[in-house]
Structure 1
């Protein structure tokens, strides 16, 4: 089979690896419009569940990613001058440039052609049995057929900026700072021995009130460094102004498509769907798309059936994550509702931000109910553990007494 992946992000590269592993005779080319090594972004996150899946499907690339990733097992929240730290799931960070370099190297080792600085005209797609649009949220191939795919974009209310920093966070860190114009907050996580990602977000009124809409890059970074000085421990923030001169501040856009394929063209990763960055799942979902598409192509020799199965399975798998992402974004858009709580309570509700119930229950009441439910579940688990032990003890006593 001849396959053309348009877009050299994680989804397209990993799909090419999986397809080559399934059948080395596949003729696969990955077309990337940017120069090699010129990727945008800082670090990306993934979690233990994805790590285990990667080991199952390609141990070689999984080991390479693990060797170049940093990890954490705690979450930290800083509210004003108070800090709380809690254990959490094991998470991993890796530089986006490093991730793409590792995947491209692995793909080439298997015989995939990875061509950089290759712009694909949406009106003249490559000659191939399967064309994969893995060219991101701004996908030219999808945009040219937006009416067929039923593409919808919904823009979020808050502004955010994606930055790097020389501060190395040892935990996934949330920092909330109150200003005279409202709250501004940051998400920080490490991705290398000397770098971390720092995503900063605020409401529109805070954005304009602080003058971030008018500041140039240097002045904007200086202001943010001052606001988050305690969290950054005096380290610098590192920006990357867009080449076209536009603002580096963005509004997150949630993208959905009614259908994901047309003829021999199929959408993959961010070209098919996006989920709010606050749940840290973008890279994971892109790689899981690739895993499922490869599985569908292996199990169905007819392309229409394979693409139907891929779309059906992935859409179903995405439903709970899309719901979680939507509610997480809304939690931050309604942040003042939670900031008068004690930091421990606020941090607990930060962990519950995916709940569809939380927006409709007073925060302090929700916290109490959640704690009560947690204690009840702990009691239930204890009873399930204790029951068999008591039964065995009673049986042993009965045997000893001859009864």
Structure 2
């Protein structure tokens, strides 16, 4: 089978690894428009459950990723000037560049051809000629998906808040938050380590705060200077690192949530951010792309006689893959939607005691939380930990409320 994978991110590279392991005779090429070692972002997060899935798919790359990752268990929040600590599950961070390097190295060792600085401009590009399967792993702005936008039924919802993705020389040994009140409203950040030298720091605020602080007109250098002062107690004097030149405008964004009605057209199939995005505050983007790769490879493995030899069989496999992943994503998409809304309504929770506020930060995925006064929700949540009937009621009511609200509003 001849496979062309457009996009050399984690999902595309891992899919190529899985397919080569299933059948070394597959002819697989990954087309990546950027140079080797060039990538956006700083570090990515994941949880232990992902490692178990990766080891089942390819133990060698899973072990390499695990060994290159840093670990933490605690969550730390600075609210105004008060620090609180929450004990949690073990989390992992790894540099995005490091992860891509490990996956590319493993793919090439298995016989995958990885072509850097080799962009694909559309479905009719010569690089795709003769391919039995074309995998669009080319991100949220996928040129392959957009060439057939009506067929895929893409819908994009843009969030209200502004955010900027930065690095820092401060190495965090816990997943850390800081919430700072200014005369123009709240501004906050999430920070986590991904190596022994660097951490990721994502800063977010409302449009009113963004404009009130002048962040909408500041250069990159002035923005970094301002944010270093704002989060001085979190950074301990360490520098923030941007992506652009110092005299360029800072790269503030508003998150775009993408969904697609269907995930394939003929032999073209979507994977990762080309198919779906979930708000960065749940830290699941890379995990979901890797899970897409696992599901797509599994669907193709189940095709009798080898995928691509019979068009109907390939279509059936791609249909199963899309149906399965859209169903599996419902929980993560719901969690991401409520998490983003929690931050968009942050002032609702900031009158709480910092310990209570941090507890509700951990509950931000709940569909019940926006509809119950925060103090009451906190008391009910604490009671549910002690009383099994309340815990069962909460587990039963939450998903039903989420489905009802989604059916009424589509949100």
- The counterpart of 2:387, out of the listed 359, 376, 385, is 376
- The counterpart of 1:191, out of the listed 183, 190, 194, is 194
Distance in 2 of aligned mates of 1:317 and 1:139: 22
Distance in 1 of aligned mates of 2:390 and 2:316: 48
Distance in 2 of aligned mates of 1:154 and 1:352: 23
Is residue 220–residue 249 contact of structure 2 (8 Å, CA) maintained in 1?
Answer: no
Q: How does 1:198-213 map to 2 (within 5 A)?
A: 198-213=201-216
Distance in 2 of aligned mates of 1:378 and 1:114: 55
Is residue 7–residue 134 contact of structure 1 (8 Å, CA) maintained in 2?
Answer: yes
Aligned pair 1:39/2:50, yes or no? Answer: no
- Kindly tell me: are residues 148 and 227 of structure 1, through their superposed partners in 2, closer, same or farther at Cα, counting changes over 3 Å? same
Distance in 1 of aligned mates of 2:281 and 2:52: 22
Write the deviation string for residues 154-198 of structure 1: whole angstroms up to 9, x where unpaired: 100000000000001110001101111000000000000010000
- Kindly tell me: are residues 229 and 40 of structure 1, through their superposed partners in 2, closer, same or farther at Cα, counting changes over 3 Å? same
Distance in 1 of aligned mates of 2:54 and 2:83: 35
- The counterpart of 1:314, out of the listed 325, 330, 336, is 325
Q: SS in structure 2 opposite 1:122?
A: coil
- The counterpart of 2:336, out of the listed 303, 325, 338, is 325
* Number of aligned positions between the proteins: 381
- The answer for the alignment partner of 1:262 in structure 2 is 265
- Kindly tell me: are residues 123 and 314 of structure 1, through their superposed partners in 2, closer, same or farther at Cα, counting changes over 3 Å? closer
Distance in 2 of aligned mates of 1:380 and 1:152: 35
- State the Cα distance separating 1:221 from its structure 2 match: 0.4
Q: SS in structure 2 opposite 1:29?
A: strand
Distance in 1 of aligned mates of 2:291 and 2:390: 36
- The answer for the alignment partner of 1:177 in structure 2 is 180
Q: How does 1:186-335 map to 2 (within 5 A)?
A: 186-241=189-244, 247-301=250-304, 302-335=313-346
Q: How does 1:59-208 map to 2 (within 5 A)?
A: 59-125=59-125, 126-127=128-129, 128-208=131-211
- State the Cα distance separating 1:246 from its structure 2 match: 6.2
Distance in 2 of aligned mates of 1:380 and 1:114: 50
- Kindly tell me: are residues 228 and 246 of structure 1, through their superposed partners in 2, closer, same or farther at Cα, counting changes over 3 Å? closer
- State the Cα distance separating 1:377 from its structure 2 match: 3.2
- Kindly tell me: are residues 65 and 199 of structure 1, through their superposed partners in 2, closer, same or farther at Cα, counting changes over 3 Å? same
- The counterpart of 1:350, out of the listed 361, 367, 382, is 361
User: What TM-score do you get using the length of structure 1 for normalisation?
Assistant: 0.92
Q: SS in structure 1 opposite 2:83?
A: strand
- State the Cα distance separating 1:121 from its structure 2 match: 2.0
Distance in 2 of aligned mates of 1:355 and 1:375: 19
User: What TM-score do you get using the length of structure 2 for normalisation?
Assistant: 0.91
Is residue 7–residue 32 contact of structure 2 (8 Å, CA) maintained in 1?
Answer: yes
Q: Which has the larger radius of gyration?
A: 1
Write the deviation string for residues 340-376 of structure 1: whole angstroms up to 9, x where unpaired: 0001100110010001110010000000001111111
Distance in 1 of aligned mates of 2:121 and 2:271: 18
Q: SS in structure 2 opposite 1:50?
A: helix
- The answer for the alignment partner of 1:4 in structure 2 is 4
Distance in 2 of aligned mates of 1:122 and 1:278: 32
- State the Cα distance separating 1:20 from its structure 2 match: 0.3
Q: Structure 2: which 5+ residue stretches go unaligned? A: 305-312, 393-411
- State the Cα distance separating 1:119 from its structure 2 match: 1.4
Q: SS in structure 2 opposite 1:235?
A: coil
- State the Cα distance separating 1:242 from its structure 2 match: 7.8
Is residue 31–residue 118 contact of structure 2 (8 Å, CA) maintained in 1?
Answer: yes
Is residue 242–residue 248 contact of structure 1 (8 Å, CA) maintained in 2?
Answer: no
Distance in 1 of aligned mates of 2:56 and 2:385: 34
- State the Cα distance separating 1:379 from its structure 2 match: 11
4+ runs of 1 displaced by more than 6 Å? 378-381
- The answer for the alignment partner of 2:55 in structure 1 is 55
